[in-house]
Chain A
Amino acid sequence: MIPEISPTLMTALMFCGLLVGLFLGHPLAFVLGGLAVIFGFIGWGPACFFMFANRIFGTMDNYLLVAIPLFIFMANLLQHSGIADKLFDSLRYLLGPIRGGVAIAVVVVCAVFAACTGVIGASVVTMGLLALPVMMKYGYDKRLSAGTICAGGTLGILIPPSIMMIVMADQSGLSTGKLLVGGFYPGAILSVLFIAYIAIVCRRKPELGPPLSLEERQAVPVRRRLTMASISLLPPSLLIIGVLGVIFAGIATPTEASGVGAFLAFLMTFVYRRFSWKMFREAVITTAGTVSMVMIILVGASCFTGVFLGLGGGKVLTELILGFGLGKWGTFAIMMFLVFILGCLVDWIGIVYITFPIFLPIAAQLGFDPVWFVLMIAVNLQTSFLTPPFGYALFYLKGVASHDLSTADIYRGIAPFVIFQLIGFLVCVFTPNQVLYLPNMIK
């Protein structure tokens, strides 16, 4: 028999294994699953393998998680519906005369789109295809453009609906409605910060984001621009009322609302005359790919966490974190720092699965409000979509952008936005009452 390995060593080895596997380019889901098998076998013996089957079954037999494929499908339909095209066009004319106006329009469209969808992929892909060529045409700095699209796109998963909040609710046992509605305030703060950053940087260096030319401004009178913008805001508003309205009014569960949303998005494709079987087929296939990618990470992560906690990794990490003896806020800072660092390497699902069972009891022990604490992790995880090497927004933008936008351009472009996300995070830390205002209205 193999000599007894201390839980501390085991924890360290599991994290090393995770890093090695990831940097070798193996898919995250299978690195997590493979490590679960290896360490489960070493530390526990073959008996632990039944836990995997049960954990997978737990992911399958979960009515709350049914909302995930439906929300993803809804986002893909909306992406093809052209709902964002009209909105972006009208806002571009409305905000165009300001320096950096097109970039600001991107953030606004992303925020509205975020309130319609619960993922980041749809926003980043839509804006990458739609706004990036326009920004290039107007002579916008390509780094600023890339950063704006990626950062704006990440709002999609913070502003409700949000598949991240659904997974968090499932893992923390907190009310899904409270967490969803709690995303509004941080989402608004981040949107405002992004817009402020763009406005300031373009005021200082107009060459980064020049205003629309005079001819183009005269082509469309201001009055028409306003009506155009109002008309194009109507369909998304209906969608937002249809989905979020029914959740917050307590009429339907998030899962039911996601079904309503997918159906409304389906209707929108008719309203915008974009429906075709080819488009529908494409939306179904993209959804299938994204859903299975997300769900298999859930499966791998839940096996990994099962073994990790079973081998005493949770206790090791808890002792490590509390061992610094930094008091309430110091401990909070350490936990948030760990989430941020993990955010560079692992995707949000893995982080939620690994950290929630360890951090939530610590937070409860320190007397933090659980809803507030989970929302802080959610805001913190916004950076995980942007921070390389593992940032979804970067993958998505690279996938749709033309070749003259290099990875280095995207990395440099997102850097200031990550800083502003952290500022937004601090704002939320220091205004707990405002963060909890909306969640507390839900019974």
Chain B
Amino acid sequence: MFNQPHIWTYEITTFFYAIGFMILVAYTLLHRGHVSIDLFYRRLSLRKQAIVTVVTYLVFFFPFVLILTKVGIELATASWVTKEVTTTARLPIVMPAMKTIIPIAAMLLLLQGMSEFVRNLFFLVKGRDL
């Protein structure tokens, strides 16, 4: 069984693995599952925490995720248009479909990031939780 792999099983496995982790990134952000150093952050007042969150989201998070969305869309479009296949006998739509995951995951992540950002900005401006 192990010595006779079908190329399609290999492709399907990789495909599901890729969908899985990419789409879940936003979900993990929702549940604060991404590791960070909260050594100093934790000691700040709630207001300062909100300021730091807003600033770090603007500096790090949004540029990265926006760029991913943009180049992801371009990469996926190019792949669909040229009906991209590789020499390793891929199933017809696997390549474009996999590349489409990048912008989808990035957009989901962007939405979840905005939710986080708006929540902190609201707290900063109005002084209470949204």
Chain A contacts to B: CB under 8 angstroms: 21-31, 33-38, 49-50, 52-54, 56-57, 60-63, 65-66, 69, 246, 251-253, 255-256, 288-293, 295-297, 300, 303, 345, 347, 388-390, 392, 395
How far does the alpha carbon of A66 sit from the alpha carbon of B15 in the complex, in Å?
Answer: 10
Interface residues of B in 18-57 (CB under 8 A from A): 18, 20-22, 24-25, 27-29, 31, 33-42, 49, 52-53, 55-57
B34 to chain A, nearest CB (A): 4
Question: If the complex has contacts A33-B64, A69-B21, are A293 and B28 also in contact, measured as CB distance less than 8 A?
Answer: yes
How far does the alpha carbon of A56 sit from the alpha carbon of B28 in the complex, in Å?
Answer: 18
Is there contact, CB below 8 Å, between B68 and A52? yes
Nearest CB in chain A to that of B99: its residue: A57
How far does the alpha carbon of A35 sit from the alpha carbon of B63 in the complex, in Å?
Answer: 9
Is there contact, CB below 8 Å, between B60 and A30? yes
How far does the alpha carbon of A345 sit from the alpha carbon of B41 in the complex, in Å?
Answer: 15
Question: If the complex has contacts A252-B2, A289-B24, A291-B20, are A24 and B61 also in contact, measured as CB distance less than 8 A?
Answer: no
B82 to chain A, nearest CB (A): 15
Question: If the complex has contacts A69-B20, A292-B24, are A22 and B37 also in contact, measured as CB distance less than 8 A?
Answer: yes
Nearest CB in chain A to that of B66: its residue: A37
Partner of A38, one of B49, B63, B98: B63
Chain B contacts to A: CB under 8 angstroms: 2, 10, 13-14, 17-18, 20-22, 24-25, 27-29, 31, 33-42, 49, 52-53, 55-57, 59-61, 63-65, 67-68, 70-72, 74-75, 98-99, 101-102
Is there contact, CB below 8 Å, between A49 and B70? yes
B113 to chain A, nearest CB (A): 8
Chain A residues lying within 8 Å of B33, measured Cβ to Cβ, are 289-290, 292-293
Is there contact, CB below 8 Å, between A35 and B102? no
Partner of B61, one of A34, A56, A345: A34
Partner of A288, one of B13, B20, B63, B71: B20
Chain A residues lying within 8 Å of B21, measured Cβ to Cβ, are 60, 69, 291-292, 295-296
